């Protein structure tokens, strides 16, 4: 059982839908991350929150909107997505300068 829990595990949405991905970490870490994983490509960092403050926003389109209400929870709000946004979305957490611990991801399909 991972210390980082992501829900839902699978999500299919149309291009006009609004949905949210949820992440919760039980490790006492102070930083949380969203990554996008597409086939045959390196993981792409999307957002980083440290102590609930966004410290990295990696030129991500505005149709992706993160929210970090506290150090244990992270959301990714999705709106008007494109088919090329279909991917595995991974949440991770860490202490400062320590390795990342990943959740099992949400497999997103945009139709």
Q: Which is nearer to other proteins, 82 or 104 (CB)?
A: 104
Q: How many residues bind other proteins (CB under 8 A)?
A: 27
Q: Specify whether the CB–CB gap between 77 and 17 falls below 8 A.
A: no
Asked whether position 101 contacts other proteins by CB under 8 A, the answer is yes
- Report d(CA 5, CA 39) in Å as an integer: 22
In the region spanning residues 71 to 90, those forming contacts with other proteins, defined by CB under 8 A, are: 90
In the region spanning residues 15 to 54, those forming contacts with other proteins, defined by CB under 8 A, are: 31, 33, 40-43, 45, 48, 50
- Report d(CA 68, CA 46) in Å as an integer: 14
Q: Specify whether the CB–CB gap between 22 and 7 falls below 8 A.
A: yes
Q: Which is nearer to other proteins, 18 or 54 (CB)?
A: 54
Q: Hey, what are 82's tokens? A: 């494109």
Q: Which is nearer to other proteins, 56 or 67 (CB)?
A: 56
């Amino acid at each position: 059982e991972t210390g980082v829990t992501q829900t839902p595990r699978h999500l299919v949405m149309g291009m006009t839908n609004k949905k949210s991905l949820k992440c919760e970490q039980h490790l006492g870490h102070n930083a949380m991350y969203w990554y996008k994983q597409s086939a045959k490509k390196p993981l792409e960092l999307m957002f980083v929150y440290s102590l609930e403050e966004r410290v990295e926003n990696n030129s991500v389109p505005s149709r992706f909107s993160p929210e970090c209400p506290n150090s244990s929870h992270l959301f990714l709000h999705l709106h008007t997505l494109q088919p090329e946004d279909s991917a595995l979305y991974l949440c991770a957490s860490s202490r400062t300068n320590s390795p990342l611990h990943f959740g099992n991801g949400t497999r997103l399909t945009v139709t």
